[in-house]
Structure 1
């Protein structure tokens, strides 16, 4: 179901709680909401739709990848970038890493790891900031 975008900074600043199998339906809500906002958004965290759980989705090329309880396990190549956010107005400067390795649980509740570079890595870092209550 397409959900409204949360703009309440008090909710967005909360650290998200670990996700469980009971949170699997949130993946479809994130997919539907990201698809509805595809012209202005490439990733979302669950708190952007009012769910304070560690769940993100990212458009990685033609695929929308949902990650439960993602964590960055390696990173290299820091750089400065200007980013915008669907939940906030304007753009802000932040530090990102050119290359990351992220560990997560997929929708089949299997552990996965992906190594990402450039813009896909930036998307994941932005969404993980949301999970950690960090607003750029």
Structure 2
């Protein structure tokens, strides 16, 4: 069984996923920038059914269908969920115990990338999101 673990900065939130991640990508959208406090965010995705939190999932905020979680003690961002794809959860790569194991494979919202951010990695760049939602083409 695979085991992927992570948590917040202070240790109040711990989680694990017991399957391979199906996704790893950068997001350049303004919402992710504001939520992370960084010029670009990076996420790793797992199936929700394979994710377990130890004791506490954290506090949440967001407007339906989006929900973000964070640690109310240290403020660290933890995860992103979208009710339209509730079978998936996306963790901040920086919240993983071994972030080096999850190299992004694409860039999302590349049209919103800040002009001073230069990541010359040759990865595909999409103008909008990188995870399909029902009803979107």
Point out the structure with the larger strand share.
1
For normalisation by structure 1, the TM-score amounts to 0.30
Point out the structure with the larger helix share.
1
For normalisation by structure 2, the TM-score amounts to 0.30
